[in-house]
Amino acid sequence: MTQHTTASPTDSRLSVAIIGGGIGGVAFAVALSRFPDLDVQLFEAAPQFSEIGAGVSFGPNAVCAIQRLGLEEAYRRIADASPAPFEDVWFEWRRGRDDGYLTATLAPGCGQSSVHRADFLDAIVAHLPEGIAHFGKRCIEVTQTEEGATAHFADGTAFTADILIGFDGIKSAVRANVLPAEEHGEIAPFWSGTYAYRGMIPTARLEEALAGKGADRRLALVPQMYLGHDRHILTFPVKQSALINVVAFITDRSTAEPQLPEGEEWVQAVTQQEMLEVFAGWGAASRAILECIPEPTRWALHELPELPRYHRGRVLLVGDAAHALVPHQGAGAGQALEDAYVLASLLGDEACTRESVQRVLAAFEAVRHPRTCRVQRTSHEAGNVYEFAGEGIGDDEARLIDNLETRFDWLWHHDPEDDVSQARRRLGWRHSVGVAQEA
């Protein structure tokens, strides 16, 4: 028999149910918890907070969102940065076949700001008040009425709030309520055509391996991108530069709609030999890097199509549930954090009530949808550029260099507070409160 819980309508201005306890969902819950007149509850499927994957990179826009969310101090304690005089380098770009230097993309004042995913999640969780998070709550369905939205969980329980926010990732259970199959068809993640081989290498070991092959030791600590036809390799430090995060990509461009073999797991362990064969003939640095990963995992990178909408009634999709993308611009987590700040700022305003909240969710969608769709699209395009398949660029190094030096400007030079202001104008609100900052 279903056990049903409803947030008390008398104790708060607005009750909010958050589905999903990843980086975006927890950051959003922390931001909302600073508004004492909101009832905030977060539901996570796992038995505790946890993150899959290794390193995550943040561009200047994501660091701005972290600052706006009041999480900068927690972030700075664990974030890695390039060593001087390379502190502004996001990536150096090199030919994979011979390690030849092409150019560098600079992010002044930020550089390659990166963390280990699990470390960052732990740092955010430390700011989450007790009593908000609920574990072992795998959402299997969402329903809604004019009065509220209900999450139904696999353990037979359910929870109803004024609004429900789906931060539940690329395999979102919330998505079907916002985009019903009978209206939109089945919307599912699709394979991008790219596999990513992943590994973590102790920094000292990689420095030694690079030197052993006659490559520069500094290639270990300064973020690098090695480019080639249908392939590229990236490296950057995490864990206070104790480890180097490595991702080596190969893309199938033989067909417009590549299909993952039926039944194949998205993530699986593979042999080092398979990975080495993919990059046969590449330069000394690439060989040194890959030979330091004895047990790589291979990830089939999936993404979502650009969704026609993120909002219906009292339910909203955010983060990867709304706009999952390939990682070629280091932008996925950053977009989730932008979403978290903008939405928390709007819901935190006293003008947002049970009666007006659906208009607020619609305003959020209106200001975020064009940007997040563009980030999805350009992230896919970036992978093409790195692998000499960029439209009008190919392997023309002069055009490639010009593109790499400027292609991220529009993405990075964005303050999520501008989105808040735009949404407020749509709503006819005057004064901005922003997310309350921690002391």
Length of the chain: 439
For strands 3-6 and 14-19, give the pairing. unpaired
Q: Is 205 a catalytic residue?
A: no
The answer to whether residues 71 and 58 touch, using CB atoms and an 8 Å cutoff, is: no
247 backbone dihedrals φ, ψ, rounded to 5°: -135, 125
- Give the number of other CB atoms < 10 A from CB of residue 240: 14
Helices 357-386 and 332-347, packing angle to 10 deg: 170
* Options 175, 198, 287, 314, the catalytic residue: 198
The H helix count followed by the E strand count for the chain is 15, 20
CA nearest 29: which of 38, 63, 424, 37? Answer: 38
DSSP result, 349-408:
STT--TTTHHHHHHHHHHHHHHHHHHHHHHHHHHHHHHTT--TTTTT-HHHHHHHHHHTT
Residue 74 in tokens = 């927690």
Burial code of 305-327, b = ≥16 C-beta within 10 A, e = fewer? eebeebbbbbbbbbbbbbbbbbb
Q: Which residues are catalytic?
A: 198
